[in-house]
Amino acid sequence: MISANVPTLAGGASNEASVLKGARIQQIVMQNRLPTVTLTQTGGANLQQQFRVFHKGGGNFRGQALQSKAIIPSCCVVFGSSTAGGAYTPGMSDYVIMIKNQAQVYLGGPPLVKMATGEVVDGESLGGADMHSRISGLSDQLASDEYDGINKAREWVAHLNWEQEGKLPQRHLLGKYEEPYYSSEELLGLVSANIRIPFDATEVIIRLVDGSRWSPFKPDYGVNLICGWSFIHGIPVGILANNNVIFNQEANKATQFVQLCNMKNTPLIFLQNITGFMVGKLYEEEGIIKAGSRFINAISNSTVPAITIMMGASFGAGNYAMCGRAYEPRFLFSWPNSKCSVMGAEQLTGVLDLVARQAAARAKQTVDEELLTKRKDMFQASVEAEANVYYTSSRILDDGIIDPRDTRSVIGFCLSVCYNNHVQGGNIYGSNKEGTITHSIVLKDRPTFVAFTTAGYPSSDDTVEILLALERGGADVIELGIPFTDALTGGPVIQFASAQSIKRGTDISTILQMVRTARSRGLKIPVVLMGYYNSVLAYGEDALVYDSKEAGVNGYILVDLPPEESHNFRCNCYKHGLAFIPLIAPTTPDKRIELLVTLADSFIYVLAGPTLDGVLPATVSRIKRHTSVPLVVEFNVSSREQFLKAASHVDGVAIGSRVLELVKEAFESDKSSLTDVVDKYVAEINGQKKSIQAAGVTSLNIGDVSTHKVFSPDEMKSFYHMHTRFGDFGGAYVPEILVDCLAQLEKCFVNAMNDPSFKSEFESYYDYISRPSQLQLANRLSEEVGGARIWLKREDLNHTGSHKINNAVGQILLAKRLGKKRIVAETGAGQHGVATATVCAKFGLECCIYMGEEDCRRQALNVFRMKMLGATVVAVKEGTRTLKDAVNAAMGDWVMNISTTHFLVGSAIGPHPFPKIVREFQSVIGKETKRQMLEKAGKLPDAVVACVGGGSNAIGMFHTFIEEKTVRIVGVEAGGDGVDTKKHAATLTLGTPGVFHGTRTYLLQDNNGQIAETTCISAGLDYPGVGPEHSYLKETGRAEYRVANDAQCLTGFRKMTQLEGIIPALESSHAIYAGIELAKELPKSKDIVICLSGRGDKDMHNVAEVLPKLGPQIGWDLRF
């Protein structure tokens, strides 16, 4: 480490800034064990700043002493006069070189000596280099001139025999590492001087790391914080980079990642562009303070070297968590655009305004608006100035401002410096785990205790021990949960346990082995598997029932397999003597209860609803009018008192959440106590002071299966009035609580379709929607392509900017007929959310929109529009935080608020009757297109093309032409990074049939029936399923489905924008690209119509984010 005074500035005297810089130098020296060379010429403290210098400056001398104690060598080369405090720098150095006839070192110069003692002496005699070399011995070497002094310092360094205590990798020492594939010059095009303009930190990372290659950590969890491992200059690093505000998942992810890097002794690189932690009621309830505290705790206790780069915003606790100056990174550098403050200047000013107004209100005074405005302006200007990087850098809050293009070199150099000291991680704890909740079942002569646990959580071996502990404690039946990626019911504890179990590779085969093992060790009580049908379907119904019987399973509860859909599975269960346990909800009508009780062969599972009082007694009374079969209630019971209260109405009570919470707590604190905790809790619920050694129930008492009535599929499906399927696809695979609601919705829809006044009312809103939408010939695009004429169905000109308004208006009218006052909806790109919020505002209904957190980020403008329209927007943080998770959350809300709420499904997905309802209201697209083509072209189109995610705009365009055999039907799916990768949303192209979100359709899923994650440029197509009618059209060959990857989508986007002056939605751009390619295949006499389903205003941010990556692939450079 080399430092020097600046003698031309106040004679090298130390001011406050130089004292702060000196302290920082010593911190770097100590952290990295760096020998020091100090080039000295100073007059000591700047007397005009004596107060600010004197007290802090003394610490620098102490630092020199501590450096010597740490056996870190120091050398001082004295070039000129070093007086007063400046004399202590050579005095406390290990080795001193003085320049002959220049260096003079003394505590007090000749004038001070004369004034204090009367002695007259010249400077050279008092403290010259020659004197100190010959007499005082302060100087160890006398240099003839400055050049000689520098050479002697180099000789001193050369003879130190100093070795790095950390071991640098050979690839670094030998220079055998790759430069990034992507040029650092491109960083200037990625990052804006305006920190409000976001950029993808991944694009920065791949321009810093060797070969532009890195291994992301949890890439689909907590996506606002990017973590992963790579190399810089051949040195392994762990990288944390911000893409937005920090939520719970980001904090949990970072905590675990920091721990892992400490375990592996891997230096950490922090790339800061952070506005802080998310605030709000929901996030406080979810524990954002605790999650953030764990993150900061991990950073505080991390001992591996950390290097921080300020790339943009650095506000609030986000600065702390991302290793700001207070957390002592080894090095910290800033880009010229960065800003650092407790929060943004506008936010701080807003707080000041609010405080002032509240204070005036309390004092019953009138706010002086002019004075307040002046104060606010002054305050905001002050905050802006202090947040500026040049101000913060001048206060030594970083180690310098660097050109972004130099970032890799700076980090590489700093990493090599860090290895002068040991690189050793500390024992910190970073992973953040949460619990789960769920249900259970069975009966006996006393209240039956049905205990639930998730298979594979915490591990397979632990599950076996838990099963045995539940029996020891006195559980009568065990409900063993089959983990599923996209459960529609169950709280956060269940979902967490399920996710953890899936990560550990749990599938039905391993679950059956858990049961076998437990049985071999003496488990006697019944075990019922509870889960979702898609897992069963993936395993194979026949094989599963046979293998379950062999393993020791006694029955099944399948949450989304109502009797209407369960004929084959029930037959297999009866054949092998396994119980098929029906569910009854408070919403189940008497007529259906009469049907369901005939299916019960052991007991009935009763869903209690939100409270035990009132609803449960009434539901039980209705059931008992039809059967004497024992009833087990599912409710959130945790105590003995609650257990007895619930049991006063039924034969048994299911407890799941509390069991799993105890399992989690024991696993995380003292795993050895896990089984004892479970055993004790179950005994307490049963009112026992100690474990029950003998099982109270050993079978489900399934009667003679030959007497069971097995209803035919046709008998069961008579509960619905319409056909529920499209060939083999469709149906209504839903929890029992939704069945009656769907039936009511179907009845309302059928009546509306048969009511001319409904059609008139719907069409009366066409002026509001801006229908009919235009059919436009894209003449320039057609000329560019040189093939078939391309026509555009301009759904982008509709009110709210897409086709979604068609369905939203139609379903709102149905909701009014149903008497529903509250609307919930899912949205991906935000277009359906905006349309729903719009019609709710128009009709005066409460509106709640669920949107994946990642989609909220990608479509922030639409989120703002929804909120502006009065809607509540809930960012869904579970799963991939995209469209499928929004559907899960919206359906979960609907389940909990079934009596007051209508679920306004935005796409042609979900259980019957939603696909038919959405198709009906969107079919106006195809009907208008047919009429307009006949009017404008005198013929039908030769092909119609539309993008397909869930498929609402596509089925709206296609349905009219299904019977027109001369018209080709072409759907276009999102190919993401390419169908040769796993990052796509090409469901129909690469998927397989399964059951998801209430319908049988094509899915992207693994071999175990777990839903795969999807990736694509457009949020509206980022969905692992598809409408069941599209699956039918694919299966029958009536429609063909193509794929456009992200780069091709952007090509379509660019063509439409630059040739037709129309900025399309990215969803529509997939269809545009495929339409262009199709047109090239056809002669000029042919006509194709592309459904331009939405406009692209919402996508500008997203396009700007991906252009640095995709632009070079398609030759499109918009950097400015």
Look up residue 906 and give its amino acid.
G
Q: Is 454 helix (H, G, I), strand (E, B) or coil?
A: strand
Q: Are 217 and 257 in contact (CB under 8 A)?
A: yes
Q: How far apart are CA 877 and CA 527, in angstroms?
A: 33
Q: How far apart are CA 796 and CA 1094, in angstroms?
A: 4
- What phi and psi values does residue 367 have, to the nearest 5 degrees? -70, 130
- Quick count: other Cβ atoms within 10 Å of Cβ 170? 9
DSSP class per residue in 771-815: PSPPEEE-HHHHHHH-SSEEEEEEGGGSTTSBTHHHHHHHHHHHH
Structure tokens, 864: 């703002």
Alpha carbon 807 to its chain's center: 29
Q: Is 182 helix (H, G, I), strand (E, B) or coil?
A: coil
Measured CA to CA in angstroms, residue 1035 lies from 25, 34, 945 at distances of 71, 70, 18
Strand partners, 996: 999
Q: Which of 315, 310, 349 has the alpha carbon at shortest distance from 191?
A: 310
Q: Residue 977: exposed, middle, or buried by beta-carbon count in 10 A (0-12, 13-18, 19+)?
A: middle
- Quick count: other Cβ atoms within 10 Å of Cβ 636? 18
Q: Is 393 helix (H, G, I), strand (E, B) or coil?
A: helix
Q: Is 969 helix (H, G, I), strand (E, B) or coil?
A: strand
Axis-axis angle for helices 369-387, 345-362 (nearest 10): 150
Q: How far apart are CA 353 and CA 374, in angstroms?
A: 11
Q: How far apart are CA 241 and CA 474, in angstroms?
A: 50
Q: How far apart are CA 621 and CA 605, in angstroms?
A: 14
User: Do the strands 992-996 and 999-1003 form a parallel or antiparallel pair, or are they unpaired?
Assistant: antiparallel
Per annotation, catalytic residue among 334, 907, 1031, 1093: 1093
Active site residue 826: yes
Cis peptide upstream of residue 90 (ω within 30 degrees of 0): no
Q: Which of 81, 78, 80 has the alpha carbon at shortest distance from 98?
A: 78
Measured CA to CA in angstroms, residue 1081 lies from 423, 969, 1044, 1059, 1088 at distances of 61, 15, 16, 20, 11
Q: Is 730 helix (H, G, I), strand (E, B) or coil?
A: strand
Per annotation, catalytic residue among 826, 853, 973, 1013: 826
Structure tokens, 232: 């810089």
> HEC string of 548-613?
HHHHCCCEEEECCCCHHHCHHHHHHHHHHCCEECCEECCCCCHHHHHHHHCCCCCCEEEECCCCCC
Axis-axis angle for helices 508-520, 541-551 (nearest 10): 20
Per annotation, catalytic residue among 804, 884, 930, 1055: 804
Strand partners, 822: 846, 901
Cis peptide upstream of residue 913 (ω within 30 degrees of 0): yes
Q: In what order do the strands lie in the sheet with 901-903?
A: 872-876, 846-852, 822-827, 901-903
Alpha carbon 739 to its chain's center: 32
Active site residue 804: yes
Torsion sign over Cα 488, 490, 493, 498: negative
Q: Are 651 and 444 in contact (CB under 8 A)?
A: yes
- Quick count: other Cβ atoms within 10 Å of Cβ 376? 17
Q: How far apart are CA 965 and CA 107, in angstroms?
A: 102
Structure tokens, 819: 């008497």
Q: Are 972 and 1043 in contact (CB under 8 A)?
A: yes
What is the set of active-site residues? 804, 826, 1093
